[in-house]
Amino acid sequence: MRLFFCLVACAATLMAAGDLSGRRAPGFSLVDVNFTQHDLQDYRGKVVLVDFIQTSCPHCGELSNILQEVVAKYGSKVAVLSIVNPPDTTATVKQYVAQHKLTYPLLFDCGQVAASYMKAPSFDVPHLFIVDAQGMIQSDYGYSPFNRGIFEGRDLFAELDRMLKSR
């Protein structure tokens, strides 16, 4: 019985929006592979998806494909900013962008932005933050079997539809 309650508590924790939501999104200004600067403040008024990935991560590849669909479906209503950290390089990012046919920016971080979002020096990828038009983190998702629909299914679209409808 104790195992059952432990599993329920763990599942509830993993299925929740995340304990990193409900706060102002930390600001940042990072460059992409073309050395174009992207400042989070420039996207104010839009829903922004900030995701932390690594180009060698298979789950990140699935999420990137979904995020490209988001760009196609929502256009200028939703911005996507993917952030990579070392050991990714310009070469690995260029290859990743070409492989997944991405049109949204992949930004380079040395770890400082990731640490400010995660509130920790290390983290697992992929990790997705949904920032509302006022700059508040509404949801954060670290990849797990309980929220695979966000990373590999259609659940992200349902959440975005709900957010955009309430605006």
Domain segments of the chain: what residues? Answer: 17-165
At position 75, the amino acid (one-letter code) is G
96, 126 contact by CB (below 8 A)? no
What tens digit of pLDDT does each residue of 56-98 get?
999 999 999 999 999 999 999 999 999 999 999 999 999 999 9
pLDDT digits (tens, 9 = 90+) for 106-161: 999 999 999 999 987 778 899 999 999 999 999 999 999 999 999 999 999 999 99
Give the residue from 51, 13, 47 showing the smallest Cα distance to 150.
51
Domain 17-165 has CATH 3.30.460.80: no
User: Alpha helices of 106-147 — where are they, by DSSP H?
Assistant: 112-118
Report the alpha-carbon distance of residue 131 to residue 67 in Å, rounded: 14
pTM of the full structure: 0.86
The whole-number pLDDT of residue 18 equals 60
